[in-house]
Amino acid sequence: MLKYKHPASYNQQLLNALDKLVPDTGVILDFFGGVGKVGALARAGRIIIAGEIEKKWANQSVDNGCDFVVIADATRSPFKSNSIDAVVVSPSYGNRLADVDKSQRRRKKRKSDYTRRTYRSYYGKDLHINNSGNNMQWVRGPRGKAYRLLHFRAWLEAARLLKVGGLLIINCKDHIRNGKWMHVCDWHWSMVERIGFEQRIRLEIPTTGDQNQNRHKQQGKRVVAYEQIAVYKKVSNLIPHERYLIHHAEAEVLDYI
């Protein structure tokens, strides 16, 4: 099968960490599934499902070890409420990987075209309008609002899907924009807690092998040298009303940006 590259799939360090955090048995869903690297967590007793909005990426999930794959929007999953034991996800980080600039839309004439590492350039065609990698970024204004609303809805969807006692395990990373540290992870943790999840664990996983990062460091630029993983537990079925939550999510964003 033709392979379509993905610019942000889980690396082995993250998979090792996630393997220790997910339950030994039950249904595990990654609804921002990419090429389904979550399939590396497959063991007897675990059923692994990948959901992904882009078909060409989703189609690689079974080859990567997933038991099932759905092509679906993470904010509108086709699964029943209270049916999943763990949601394990890595959302897009709101960084420049989500750029969609004109130069990347050119047809590939030379090898140097399409060289920037972005979701759009790796996918090779326009992304779904509700893809968070489609120009949704950690900025003020409409693109930032789109990023926050989409992820907020995704965390609400996780709350709906999970059984009481189920785990929401999120991998995310802060980044530097115009020399300033963007506290994207803290925003996600704060929204998940507002929905009613309780945090159990938070880990930092060093990203020493990242070539871009090492190059930036050599150039004297600030870098964020670790990924984060947070584990949350769904402690009850009481989920506040979406409209109330979204109002607060937008009001609070100013503390993080």
Applying CB under 6 A, the residues found at the interface with ligand SAM are: 6, 8-10, 31-35, 37, 51-54, 57, 73-75, 90, 92, 130-133, 150
The tokens 């004109």 sit on which residue?
A: 102
Residue nearer to ligand SAM on the CB measure, 75 or 135: 75
Q: Find the shortest distance in angstroms from Cβ 30 to ligand SAM.
A: 6
Task: Give me the least distance between CB of 91 and ligand SAM, in Å please.
Answer: 6
What are the structure tokens assigned to 156, written together? 């609400």
Q: In angstroms, how far apart are the furthest CA atoms of the chain?
A: 55
**What angle in degrees, to the nearest 10, is found between the helix axes of 184-195 and 242-252?**
150
Q: Which is nearer to ligand SAM, 1 or 238 (CB)?
A: 1
Give Rg (Cα) of the chain: 18
Measured from the CB atom, is 131 or 228 closer to ligand SAM?
131
Token pair recorded at residue 23? 């339950």
Contact between residue 3 and residue 9 where contact means Cβ atoms under 8 Å apart: no
Q: How far is the CB of 110 from ligand SAM (least distance, A)?
A: 26
The pair of structure tokens assigned to 15 is 């998979």
Q: Which is nearer to ligand SAM, 70 or 176 (CB)?
A: 70
Least gap, CB of 133 to ligand SAM (angstroms): 5
